[in-house]
Amino acid sequence: MATPEAQPAQTGMLRRILAFGLLALVVVLTSMIVAPFLAGLLWAIILSLVLWPLHQGVRRLMPAPLWLAPTVTTSVMTLMLVVPVVVVCVIVVNEASQLIRQLQDLLEGRTGDLVGVLRSLPVVGENLADGLLDLRSQGTIVPAVVNANKNELVAFVGRVIGGLSRNLFELTICVVTSWFFFRNGEDLAGQAQRAIARAGGTYASAFIPAIRNTLRAVVYGLVVTAAAQGVLMAVGLWVADVPYPLLLGLLTFLLSFAPFGVVFVWLGSGIALLSEERTLAGVLLILYGFLVVSSIDNVLRPIFIGRAAKLPFLLVFIAILGGISSFGLVGLFLGPVVVAVALTLWRTWVQTREAPTDAPSTTAGQ
């Protein structure tokens, strides 16, 4: 039987256990509630941090009423997100329809000499050419392929519609949440600083600048890399005498923000040249797109982000690829931020000296 002195200690231990259990339950339930909105919330945090200087300028011009500046900044942000997507969709649909028609004409033999091109390929050329001739002997190729794979096409269309609905939902959450971040950003930043300082001590104050600088460096690095890819693609298309090089260069700039988006431009243009029997130009354009336009993304972006965020090249490269593979497109931003915070924590820890221990007293022996 517990003594009266031990009862308060047992009661205190029971209260702590119940408090930690209640805290764990709240964390689990909150995570379950927030999980469907997590992607939109992360995008809102990223865009709010990056566009905060713009919002400060808008707020200086429009100090009252308090809702006006957040509304203007959020509207500008929405236009920056929606307009490029609409432009890309229009261009892609138009170019895709033309490409499908050219590809159908090429496969069915109305333009070009695809059979001869296939036969010129080493090892597999003869088999590919014979397979194409067999398909042509069965009638029109594209309708036959579509009819044979209609179940897969229906499933693909369903996945596309589901993806569009999910992205629209995340965009709505991002826009609405960003408005509140712009409206109450300073108060939220102060709370975050106090929470981080309370959790990690005085050394944790370096995390917020590291997160802010890394996010801005990633965004600026994306823009610079996209501009470089757009210019290089336009130059290559102009040299190859492809129609609308400036328009396709703009499309390259917009698609460079998506993983492997640039591939559709140079590969589609190269196939179009091959369909016009401009074999050398088509092959060179495809090689140029693969070796130059797409490869510069893996070189220029880590260098720019590494310099601006003060991260080594290798860590930036790992952070970008690891973030994309783990979290998708948002991982492009989240990966470098996590690595920057980890590196800041490491540098703080290794540079902090332990407090010297008290020297033994010499007065005791005197």
Compare 224 and 124 and report the one with higher pLDDT.
Answer: 224
Q: What is the pLDDT of residue 144?
A: 63
Token couple for 320: 């970008």
Is 70 exceeded by the pLDDT of residue 258?
no
Q: What is the pLDDT of residue 364?
A: 43
Q: Are 141 and 104 in contact (CB under 8 A)?
A: yes
Taking the C-alpha atoms of residue 66 and residue 54, their distance in angstroms, rounded to an integer, is 16
Sign of the torsion formed by the C-alpha atoms of 218, 219, 223 and 226: positive
Nearest to 238 by CA among 275, 288, 274: 288
Q: What is the pLDDT of residue 142?
A: 62
363 confidence band (pLDDT: 50, 70, 90): very low
Taking the C-alpha atoms of residue 82 and residue 346, their distance in angstroms, rounded to an integer, is 39
87 confidence band (pLDDT: 50, 70, 90): confident
Q: What is the pLDDT of residue 99?
A: 67
Distance of CA 281 to the CA centre of its chain: 32
Contacts for 293 with CB less than 8 Å, ≥ 6 apart: 229, 232, 233, 236, 252, 262, 266
Compare 73 and 124 and report the one with higher pLDDT.
Answer: 73
Average pLDDT over residues 294-305: 74
- What are the boundaries of each domain within the chain? 37-183, 185-349
pLDDT digits (tens, 9 = 90+) for 118-176: 777 776 777 777 777 776 666 666 666 666 666 776 777 777 777 778 778 888 888 88
Is 80 exceeded by the pLDDT of residue 73?
yes
Taking the C-alpha atoms of residue 333 and residue 217, their distance in angstroms, rounded to an integer, is 10
H-type helices in 4-124, by residue range?
Answer: 6-34, 38-61, 68-107, 114-119
Is 70 exceeded by the pLDDT of residue 333?
yes
Q: What is the pLDDT of residue 94?
A: 72
Q: What is the pLDDT of residue 303?
A: 73
343 confidence band (pLDDT: 50, 70, 90): confident
Q: What is the pLDDT of residue 345?
A: 73
Average pLDDT over residues 202-226: 72
Compare 79 and 193 and report the one with higher pLDDT.
Answer: 79
**H/E element holding 300?**
helix 297-309
